[in-house]
Amino acid sequence: MIRLSVRLASVVALAALSLPVFEAVAQQQVPPAPAQEPSAPAPAAAPAFPKPDPANFTAASPTKDVINAFLQTSWGYDESRIWQVQAILKTSVEGVSKVVVFVGDKSGKQKPAALQFFSLPDGKHIIAGEDVIPFGEHPYAEYRAQLQQRADGPYRGSATKELELVEFADFQCPHCKEAQANMDKLLVDFPKARIVFENYPLPQHPAAAGAAAYGVCVAKQGGSNAFFTFAAAVFEGQDGLATTDGATLTLNSAVTKAGQDPAKIAACASTPATIAAVDASVKLAKDININQTPTLVVNGRQVPANGSYDTIKQIIEYQIKLDGIAR
């Protein structure tokens, strides 16, 4: 996975909370609970978490109900996962509480882990690892609203935004290329979804920003259908982006396949307006705390777009249920 930051582990464990491969890495990197707090037991069958000690609940906020609602929203798609709030502790900072949660699975196949995070005074955010992420009973609502307002890239599927799947991708990212098979399946399995493409060119990929600019212009001049034809061709010929000459040939070929004029698209791609459009997409990604490509955002909820398709589908179906969307 190509990453912009190593901060992702804790964020995935407590916010995206999506695919098992990410979850395992995150749990390994979560700081251990302090000595005075109980240790998670070794798995047998389903883990029997120790009874919480009332002495470890010294903070009034957040409440256990709010924490459980947050975790249910984040983890509820996985019916095998179980957890227990073990501590809600005051800290030396007014309004900041430390929360400790034991996590396991019903089968006992995964070793239980102790996760911890710090809740902030606003009640809407937590600090997990080095990052600040949304918290509460509806943690994805704010990001969902931002995307509904600002994710204006080319799209497939529904014109409505009730179920909005926003893909943030880099044309030179190999994992983004892998993710396209998942995106095509989602279009078939969720015909009522609006599936949006947003550019997130990474600085370590020299041709990515130029490819993104070409894509903006293809969409502007030929519409969404032309863009997705262009995008498929660029991903297919991704190896050609490795050199300057190869990138030019690859992009021009993709433009032609999309029924557009390479000269006109090249001229458009160099304009300040086009560059600003790419920058706006990158800013949107950063504003909703996206740290990697490819990321799929499901009504505000982030999942890795190149993960297990069955798990991604399961998460989307669960989010549909949470948001009360008619199927």
Mean pLDDT of 129-158: 94
Q: Give 6-49 pLDDT, tens digit per residue.
A: 232 333 344 333 333 333 222 222 233 333 444 555 555 778 88
Q: How far apart are CA 42 and CA 54, in angstroms?
A: 22
* pLDDT band at residue 320 using 50, 70 and 90 as cut-offs: very high
Report in angstroms the alpha-carbon separations of 308 from 88, 143, 190, 304.
Answer: 34, 23, 16, 9
Written as six digits, the tokens of 213 are 């600019």
* pLDDT band at residue 53 using 50, 70 and 90 as cut-offs: very high
- What is the value of pTM for the model shown? 0.84
Q: Give 225-273 pLDDT, tens digit per residue.
A: 999 999 999 999 999 999 999 999 999 999 999 999 999 999 999 999 9
Closest to 315 (Cα-Cα) out of 231, 300, 326, 256: 300
What count of other Cβ atoms lies within 10 Å of the Cβ of residue 294? 26
Q: Which residues contact 312 (CB under 8 A, 6 or more apart)?
A: 18, 19, 182, 186, 296, 303, 305
Report in angstroms the alpha-carbon separations of 280 from 91, 199, 205, 213.
Answer: 38, 9, 18, 12
Written as six digits, the tokens of 204 are 């370590």
Asked whether the beta carbons of 176 and 170 are under 8 A apart, the reply is: yes
**What pLDDT was estimated at residue 133?**
86
* pLDDT band at residue 326 using 50, 70 and 90 as cut-offs: confident
* pLDDT band at residue 167 using 50, 70 and 90 as cut-offs: very high
Domains of the chain: 2-137 (no CATH), 142-322 (3.40.30.10)
Q: Give 179-205 pLDDT, tens digit per residue.
A: 999 999 999 999 999 999 999 999 999
**What pLDDT was estimated at residue 44?**
53
What count of other Cβ atoms lies within 10 Å of the Cβ of residue 185? 13
Written as six digits, the tokens of 287 are 């504003």
